[in-house]
């Protein structure tokens, strides 16, 4: 619950409450015993890393600290996922690519963005495809770059199919 509250506060641009809630989520996870705490059976360290990355990426007021936290957490989450966790990886790759584009690294954003789109095609989840919208918008900010425009076009095609 604390991780979800952190995400909500981030969307509201309340960085202090967001980061406080995220710290509580990390603390609760660190104290949880998998034998006696039921939610630990389905919320793993990769999920906490993913939420930490998403929370930092959702803060509307960009900062170098948030960008670093976003990328560090999301790279760890993606690496920890097994191939069967394609839907989760697609969400994480989408957020990671969007963060790179929004923070001035279009090359990395495009590379990871194409991974996210390819995975979204295979997963065929409406939620995954819907969550590509911010990546498409971030790619459109670099529309004069051919590869970034191609990424935005690929997402548009996938979202309308």
Q: In sequence order, which ranges of the chain are alpha helices (DSSP H)?
A: 2-11, 15-31, 45-58, 64-80, 86-102, 106-123, 126-130, 133-140, 146-160
**Cα(first)–Cα(last) distance of the chain, in Å?**
34
Tokens of 108: 């990395």
96 and 56 Cβ atoms separated by less than 8 Å = no
pLDDT tens per residue across span 20-44: 999 999 999 998 887 777 777 778 8
Percent of the chain with pLDDT over 70: 100
Alpha carbon distance 100, 45 (integer Å): 23
Percent of the chain with pLDDT over 90: 80
49 and 25 Cβ atoms separated by less than 8 Å = no
Output the pLDDT for position 38: 78
pLDDT tens per residue across span 47-65: 999 999 999 999 988 788 8
pTM: 0.91
pLDDT tens per residue across span 99-118: 999 999 999 999 999 999 99
Output the pLDDT for position 42: 78
Confidence of residue 86 (pLDDT cuts 50, 70, 90): very high
């Amino acid at each position: 619950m604390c991780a979800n509250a952190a995400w909500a506060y981030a969307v509201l641009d309340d960085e202090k409450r967001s980061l406080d809630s995220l710290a509580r989520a990390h603390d609760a996870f660190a104290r949880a015993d998998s034998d006696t705490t039921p939610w630990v059976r389905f919320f793993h360290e990769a999920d906490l890393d993913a939420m930490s990355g998403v929370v930092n990426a959702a803060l509307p007021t960009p900062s170098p600290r948030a960008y670093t936290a976003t990328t560090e957490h999301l790279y760890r989450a993606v690496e920890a996922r097994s191939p069967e966790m394609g839907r989760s990886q697609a969400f994480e790759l989408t957020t990671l690519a969007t963060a790179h584009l929004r923070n001035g690294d279009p090359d990395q954003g495009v590379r990871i963005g194409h991974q996210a789109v390819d995975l979204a095609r295979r997963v065929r989840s409406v939620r995954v495809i819907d969550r590509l919208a911010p990546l498409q918008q971030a790619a459109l900010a670099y529309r004069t770059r051919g590869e970034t425009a191609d990424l935005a076009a690929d997402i548009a095609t996938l979202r309308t199919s």
